[in-house]
Amino acid sequence: MASIPPDAATWPSLVQGTLIRRYKRFLVDVKLENGETAVAHCPNSGSMMGLIEEGNPVYLSRPEKPGRKTAYTLEIIQLPSTLVGVNTQLPNRLIKRAIQHGRIPELAGYQSLQAEKRYGTNSRIDILLADNEKPPCFVEVKNCTLVEDGTALFPDAVTTRGLKHLKELQAEVDRGNRAVMFYLVQRMDAEVFSPADAIDPVYGRELRNAVKNGVEILAWDVTINPAYVRLRRPLPVRL
């Protein structure tokens, strides 16, 4: 087995299965390779458009956490063109590691990194970069799993929370700070990133407004396999 890069994020050992259905938003039924049907937690509140199809191969982790209602967590869905990482908890961990290992030039050179720091109106910024020699940098991370005709699109459902984050980032720019929207495309078949105007035109308009007001956008895709996921390359952004 190939060694795991130090800037990669890993899963617990994965088991394979076949998707049966998603229901109650956060649950999926999966037929395991041994023929048993398992109920798994779906760690993604989006629509997961284009992913939740009966018969799709999936990979599940089995976290050892006492008191869990489900033994498994859905981590990856396999499409004909690519694996897709669906766990929305992974991007923050991955990008934190990538920053610490200097993989993202635009976010390099800061003295400290804090995760889940309170800011705005009852919000937490995913990553706060600080340095005595320059203003702090507020980084909001979004997991992107929808790709159509080579274009990665966000969001995959109307998002009032995402809209709130855009406005709060603009407020940080107004205070003299730096603000970055980071879209992690957790699949390998995208060539460009764009807001999903057909799904949430309000979000698309506010994203463009945020850019005009000084919020920066970064979009990266990944290398993903059942052992690890790692940043691969920046994607051009088309607004």
The CATH number for 28's domain is 2.40.50.580
* H helix intervals, 14-152: 90-100
Contact between residue 103 and residue 7 where contact means Cβ atoms under 8 Å apart: yes
Contact between residue 76 and residue 88 where contact means Cβ atoms under 8 Å apart: no
Q: pLDDT tens digits for 77-91?
A: 999 999 999 999 999
Q: pLDDT tens digits for 6-61?
A: 999 998 889 999 999 999 989 999 999 999 999 999 999 999 999 999 999 999 99
Asked whether residue 126 is assigned to any structural domain, the reply reads: yes
Which amino acid, residue 12? P
Asked whether residue 3 is assigned to any structural domain, the reply reads: no
Contact between residue 104 and residue 231 where contact means Cβ atoms under 8 Å apart: yes
pLDDT at residue 67, as a whole number: 66
Contact between residue 230 and residue 94 where contact means Cβ atoms under 8 Å apart: yes
Residue 138 and residue 116 share a domain: yes
* Residue ending a domain, choose from 85, 116, 132: 85
- Using CA atoms, how far apart are residues 67 and 36, in angstroms rounded to an integer? 22
Number of domains in the chain: 2
Residue 181 and residue 94 share a domain: yes
Contact between residue 220 and residue 231 where contact means Cβ atoms under 8 Å apart: yes
Overall average pLDDT of the 210-221 stretch: 98
Q: Where is 161: in which H helix or E strand? A: helix 160-174
- What radius of gyration do the chain's Cα atoms show? 18
Residue 122 and residue 81 share a domain: no
Return the closest-CA partner of residue 89 out of 159, 42, 152, 155: 42
* Residue ending a domain, choose from 41, 68, 85: 85
pLDDT at residue 194 tops 90: yes
Domain of 171? 90-234
Residue 216 and residue 103 share a domain: yes
- Using CA atoms, how far apart are residues 140 and 155, in angstroms rounded to an integer? 14
Provide the CATH number for the domain around residue 157: 3.40.1350.60
Residue 109 and residue 52 share a domain: no
Q: Where is 116: in which H helix or E strand? A: strand 112-119
Contact between residue 44 and residue 88 where contact means Cβ atoms under 8 Å apart: yes
For residue 40, with 0-12 CB atoms within 10 Å meaning exposed, 13-18 middle and 19 or more buried, which class applies?
Answer: buried
Q: pLDDT tens digits for 113-158?
A: 999 998 877 789 999 999 999 999 999 999 999 999 999 999 999 9
Contacts of 156 (CB under 8 A, 6+ apart): 46, 47, 48, 49, 145, 146, 196, 199
Contact between residue 92 and residue 124 where contact means Cβ atoms under 8 Å apart: no
